[in-house]
């Protein structure tokens, strides 16, 4: 049976959401547990997940491997994979990379919008590429099996990380900038390098990444996916919905400003539209993946390609990426 | 009475050292309490200093202002000023700048050798200048009275910080690269910008910063000081000895590698000479400032200029720099 996997969500988790996941047949979700959290705060997030696994064992299970995802499907549960959208949890300490992997974290962005100790984020004015610590950190992530995610990394740092990494990396949630120019969307050069090195692109459904925003049509999205497949290969595509369901607007402020800013930063929003934009009507929550599946088929993908994009490609990627080198 | 102030030391502190400070008539020392420490670890360092103040009240006193330094001189004690050689203690959190100032910290480097969240260190291959967080952090340091120290910052970030700061900044321990080319010594452009903006240069006695290294002569050092005065003004010069007395070689490893590196980094040293180099014979410890005082007079400085370089310039700088804007 094909797998349904979402390559990135950040939801205000609840039984209602987990039930929606089951209704939508979602086998696995890569969930973000940190945007700006310190190491200790990240451990709190893991503690909260442990409580959820204890509270809702019929709906979800902790997952750190492709085997766990397979088991989840067999058990009619949704597998929860942990990822960080920031390198803040490793602080200045390379030893925390292996510790985080041992605690079950499987994916880490090198930076979230700003300059990190490892690399440059896509909101900085300039991008000098990986830092001294960044080169060592990528090597350590490769060694331990912590996947490098470059979704919020600036162009040069992204290319530098792809070239430095000895294992395939991911851009878990973004779209091509040739479809919709946006600071967070990626250039053809980056997408060629990513996929050429065996990496995975998770197509984003966050309205700021969509042509036409919240009004983007399913056809436009799926036609874009077809062009991505034609340029880079359908085997390198998944979904990374960036679904932020049930979150208050204060959470978008946390994402954008963390604790680093004393002044308001609107990120991909604006003063006129500071909060979360509404999702497209054809993808409101975890029950709507069927619309995308149908849209991809209508856009000309084969059944096997659709299965790949909807989850099998992520599963294959995770299978090799999550284990030590 | 003129003041004797050392603009930077990192010593393995003990009663023996504090006694040497009194023997040398040292009125105040800016002591480093963090190279790579987290916020909590920095608080431990402050706790250790509180214990020392309790144990040796006849030798040292805590100081957070120029008035404390004046009081220390009147009481025949040495004033201890706290500084950080790294921005690690503020983590990703701009609010920790004011907290650290409230805890008595008065000086902070924007970065130590590597890329930080604020700026680029002098060992990185490239230097894009202050980051988004860096610009906000400099403004917050200006507001609170936490002095910006650029000793280990790369050239462009240094110039950027000098231009961004609305208050004079310091390079607490370095020499001109036109006297001794070294990665840590500073260009004429930087020194002109620093002093032109009212900033202070602390001349370093760390052998890797000296012409001829450990064999550097007192005359060479004082002639350099005279040329610095001629180019930038004697009022902008102090001493920042960088004295690392009684430290084991493991401490130089901590300085160079912190926790960010899994491979050996020799910093200003080399595989052949990995440890602390021996100090010049004319400046072995806190009892030897008289040699420098005499050397400066011999190099042609007036008595008032010598007093300024030996401490009065630092006192004047601290007087205005340590208070909120």
The chain-wide mean pLDDT, for chain A, equals: 97
3 state SS for chain A: CCCCEEEEECCCCCHHHHHHHHHCCCCEEEEEEECCCCHHHHHHHHHHHHHHHHHCCCCEEECCCHHHHHHHHHCCCEEEEEEECCCHHHCCCCHHHHHHHHCCEEEEECCCCCCCCCCCECCCCCCCCCCHHHHHHHHHHHHHCCEEECCCECHHHHHHHHHHCCCCCEECCCCECCCCCCCCCECHHHHHHHHHCCCEEEECCCHHHCCCHHHCCHHHHHHHHHHHHHHHCHHHEEECCCECCCCCHHHHHHHHHCCCCCCCCCCCCCCCCCCCCCCCCCCCCHHHHHHHHHHHHHCCCCHHHHHHHHHHHHHHHHHHHCCCC
pTM: 0.91
The pLDDT value given to residue B275: 86
Confirm or reject contact between A263 and chain B (CB < 8 A): yes
Q: Which residue of A has its CA nearest to B117?
A: A116
Query: CB-based contact (8 Å) between A32 and chain B?
Result: no
DSSP string, B284-301: SSGGGHHHHHHHHHHTT-
Q: Within 10 Å of residue A40's Cβ, how many Cβ atoms? A: 11
pLDDT above 90 (res A121): yes
pLDDT for the residue B193? 98
pLDDT in tens, A122-160: 999 999 999 999 999 999 999 999 999 999 999 999 999
Average pLDDT of the segment spanning B229-239: 98
Cβ-Cβ pairs closer than 8 A, A with B, add up to 99
Confidence of residue A275 (pLDDT cuts 50, 70, 90): confident
pLDDT of residue A70: 98
Is A48 an interface residue toward B (CB < 8 Å)? no
Model confidence band, residue A276 (pLDDT cutoffs 50, 70, 90): confident
Domains of chain B (ranges, CATH numbers): 5-321 (3.20.20.140)
At A280 the pLDDT is: 97
ipTM of the complex: 0.84
User: Does A92 sit within 8 Å of B260, measured CB to CB?
Assistant: yes
Give chain B positions within 8 Å (CB) of A258: 92
Contact A132 B123 (CB under 8 A): yes
Residue-wise pLDDT for A38-66, tens only, equals: 999 999 999 999 999 999 999 999 999 99
Give the residue-averaged pLDDT of B143-149. 98
Chain A partners within 8 Å of B258 (Cβ): 92
Q: What's the average model confidence in pLDDT over B209-229? A: 98
Binning pLDDT at 50, 70 and 90, where does residue A107 land? Answer: very high
């Amino acid at each position: 049976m094909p797998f349904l996997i979402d390559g990135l969500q950040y939801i205000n988790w609840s039984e209602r959401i987990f039930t929606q996941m089951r209704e939508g047949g979602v086998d696995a979700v890569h969930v973000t547990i940190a945007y700006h959290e310190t190491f200790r705060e990240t451990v709190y997030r893991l503690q909260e997940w442990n409580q959820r696994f204890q509270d809702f064992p019929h709906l979800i299970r902790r997952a750190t491997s492709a085997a766990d995802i397979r088991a989840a499907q067999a058990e009619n549960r949704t597998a929860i994979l942990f990822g960080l959208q920031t390198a803040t949890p490793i602080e200045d300490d390379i030893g925390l990379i292996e510790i985080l992997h041992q605690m079950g974290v499987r994916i880490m962005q090198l930076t979230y919008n700003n300059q990190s100790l490892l690399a440059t984020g896509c909101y900085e004015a300039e991008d000098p590429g990986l830092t001294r610590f960044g080169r060592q950190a990528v090597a350590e992530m490769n060694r331990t099996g912590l996947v490098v995610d470059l979704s919020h990394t600036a162009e040069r740092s992204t290319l530098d990380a792809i070239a430095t990494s000895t294992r395939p990396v991911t851009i878990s949630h973004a779209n091509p900038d040739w479809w919709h120019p946006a600071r967070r969307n990626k250039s053809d050069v980056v997408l060629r390098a990513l996929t050429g090195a065996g990496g995975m692109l998770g197509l984003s459904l966050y309205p700021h990444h969509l042509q036409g925003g919240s009004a983007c049509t399913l056809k436009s999205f799926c036609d874009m996916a077809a062009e991505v497949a034609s340029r880079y290969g359908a085997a390198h595509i998944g979904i990374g919905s960036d679904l932020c369901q049930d979150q208050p607007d204060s959470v978008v402020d946390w994402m954008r400003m963390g604790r680093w800013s004393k002044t308001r930063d609107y990120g991909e929003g604006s003063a006129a539209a500071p909060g979360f934009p509404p999702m497209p009507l054809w993808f409101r929550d975890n029950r709507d993946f069927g619309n995308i599946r149908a849209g991809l088929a209508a856009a000309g993908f084969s059944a096997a390609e659709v299965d790949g994009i909807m989850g099998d490609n992520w599963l294959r990627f995770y299978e090799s990426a999550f284990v030590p080198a």
